[in-house]
A and B are shown apart, each in its own frame.
Chain A
Amino acid sequence: MSDVIVRGRDFTAYRIGGAIAAALLFAALLWQTYEIFDGDAMTVPETSWTAVNDGEGSGENAVLADDILVARTRLLDERFKTGPSPEEPGFAAQAGQTLVEEPIDGYSKALPEAWMTGDAEMLRMLRPGQRTEGLSSLPYVNAALFERPEGRDWRLGMADFITHLGALVILGFAFLLALLLAIRGRVPIAEGRARTKVKRFGFLERATHWMTATSFIGLALTGIVIAYGETLILPFGGDLLGQAGWIATWGHAVCFPPFAFGILIMGIMWVGRNIPDRLDWIWLKNGGGLFSDEGPNPPAKKFNAGQKLIFWSAMLGGILMVGTGVMLMFPFFFLGLEAQAWVMLGHATVATFLIAIFIGHIYIGTVGMQGAIDAMWSGRVDRNWAKEHHELWLKDIEKEETAR
């Protein structure tokens, strides 16, 4: 390899940007880790009932609200105990008296924790919680289901596991990339730009790539609104979250067809050049030459092992996402309730990993490597870039050029 002229660490502005991003992402990671352990996963009451008197002006009275409802409950006892008339005064709110809800400030688990603890008498009368299905005279799907304790497991998987895991995976991987940029700088064209270009991707390839890319980003962002809206948008208002949620729901459906179509075309176009071979192993053993300006840059054909991994992530991940997504769009048509629920969890899990992987792809295609963006933007790459990263492919191209 000839002398290194451009060095990764000389891209000062990029490295400062990387350092700032790394610091921000590190803070986000710390916050996310704190979120896992801060113990606010339990559902707690958000509003409180009190009885108010319209005319009297005697103020609010939570105890009275309780008394009214407890007295009313006693009416459901055996008739010989309650007496004949359930509409005697005193058994419901009086004229001018209503029960209203008021928001509760703060988060306290005291009430649900008290609700969850039963005395011995209460616990003795419980029937064991078990899946119970029977018959129903109603013609609706799942109407015959009485009880499925699995619902609580699904909630754990969704709200307490996947959501946090996904945030850790996405933020963690983005943090590592930012750190890489800060420390190592960009992957340079070590010999400097040759100023002559080689054609790498045709119009069809680039158009397909960008169609799939934009729709993927659309799917990712709308998905993030649905998965993380409570953290990211709710602080700015519940109505805003509702609006964003609707846009996300429809946006997710709109982005799906171009994504699925793009995956199909890309598969047909590129699968031949993405079959793994022995060169990939060498490339991976050398870390793709990613960490050093001096090389060695392991030899690669048109697609190196890293690009092949991206290709197969897009293919397998994309097929999984499209497959599970279609099943979710038609509830209970392909699958029963339990399968449907777990497919939803699978969809969310694969999604977070795909987002993390493609943050890596976007990184190396833009700020992470000098000259890489040209391949997909203009379709023509610098000859020295090709020589350093796709040696064998460039040799083939040059052979064709001389043959002509």
Chain B
Amino acid sequence: MARLKFLCDADRCIECNACATVCKNEHEVPWGMVRRRVVTINDGETDERSVAVSCMHCTDAPCVAVCPTSTLYQTDLGIVLHDKDNCIGCGYCFYACPFGAPQFPEATLMGSRGKMDKCTYCAGGPEENGSEAEFKKYGRNRIAEGKLPICAEVCSTRALLAGDGDVVGEIYRERVIHRGYGSGAWGWKTAYYPDEKS
């Protein structure tokens, strides 16, 4: 059984922001929200690293657990999706999210922040695959076509990897062995192996 994950090789990311841009374009994400963003750690230092982050589609996803209206749900590929019709904009998912993934159209709206938006792993939402309604609310559904998230497929340095976790891990490990260094899989402990000691 495939388990889809994201892995950003921070030793390769050059902070070009192509992933963030192509994501906004592909899904026509409204103004004020980004499903993927690039964070630069230790900017200007010798150990500067950039890393692209979006929803990591966590195992035992905390956002799903805290959602008061059962808006969020996970699929058997690990993808965490959301149903915009039921979202009340309470922001609990943002408090529970280890990666700051949920986005809201409003800063405040008397306690609500509008309907949450987040990375769908290019897998749309509960509407019919490829329908106009699905595209309007969630963007393109590439998984339905057997394709992986466009942010990873477009990455010029192949820093951002998406797909089956075992394959992605293998690609990364071979790469690290080949070049002789690697700062590890960023965020994987928190997202995918919360109970493992490491």
Contact = CB atoms under 8 A, between A and B. Distances in A.
A154 B62 CA distance: 9
Nearest to A242: B86
A250 interface: yes
Most buried by A among B32, B41, B92, B111: B111
Contact of A98 (B94, B108, B129, B194): B129
Most buried by A among B73, B83, B168, B183: B73
Contact of A126 (B99, B162, B198): B198
B136 interface: no
B190 A147 contact: yes
A27 interface: no
Interface stretch (A43-51, A266-274, A300-308): A43-51
A230 B67 CA distance: 9
A215 B94 CA distance: 28
B43 A135 contact: yes
Contacts of A122: 169, 193
B70 interface: yes
Contacts of B22: none
Contact of A340 (B41, B77, B95): B95
Contacts of B195: 116
Nearest to B172: A125
A contact residues, range: 35 or more
A333 B107 CA distance: 9
B150 interface: no
B148 interface: yes
B186 A127 contact: yes
Nearest to B3: A115
A66 B1 contact: yes
A91 B83 CA distance: 29
A92 interface: yes
Nearest to B97: A151
Interface in A120-143: 121-123, 125-129, 132-138, 140, 142-143
A76 B198 contact: no
Given A77-B171, A146-B51, A152-B190, A72 B196 contact: no
Most buried by B among A78, A91, A135: A135
B194 A116 contact: yes
A360 interface: no
Nearest to A150: B98
A199 interface: no
Given A159-B66, A249-B111, A344-B92, A116 B193 contact: yes
A380 B175 CA distance: 84
Nearest to A45: B76
Most buried by A among B76, B152, B163, B186: B76
A114 B43 CA distance: 37
Contacts of A93: 144-147
Contacts, number: 300
A38 interface: no
A249 B89 contact: yes
A72 B146 contact: yes
B29 to A, nearest CB: 12
A126 B91 CA distance: 29
Contacts of A128: 189, 198
Contacts of B70: 230, 234, 238, 241
B167 interface: yes
Given A129-B189, A145-B39, A154-B62, A239 B85 contact: yes
A125 B77 CA distance: 22
Nearest to A140: B34
B132 interface: no
A213 interface: no
Interface string A211-243: 000000000000000110110001000110110
B57 to A, nearest CB: 10
Contact of A134 (B32, B39, B168): B39
A70 B167 CA distance: 7
A85 interface: no
Given A159-B66, A242-B86, 19 more contacts: A43-B74, A46-B75, A47-B75, A49-B77, A49-B143, A69-B148, A69-B164, A101-B75, A112-B59, A136-B38, A137-B38, A143-B34, A146-B99, A148-B98, A149-B190, A226-B68, A242-B87, A329-B110, A340-B95
10 contacts: A43-B61, A43-B74, A66-B164, A115-B3, A118-B196, A140-B32, A146-B187, A151-B98, A152-B98, A230-B69
Interface of B: 1-4, 17, 20, 32, 34, 37-43, 51, 53, 59-66, 68-71, 73-78, 81, 83, 85-92, 94-100, 107-108, 110-113, 129-130, 143-148, 152-153, 158, 161-165, 167-169, 171-173, 175-176, 182-190, 192-196, 198
Q: Which 3 A-B pairs have the closest CB atoms?
A: A73-B163, A242-B86, A93-B146
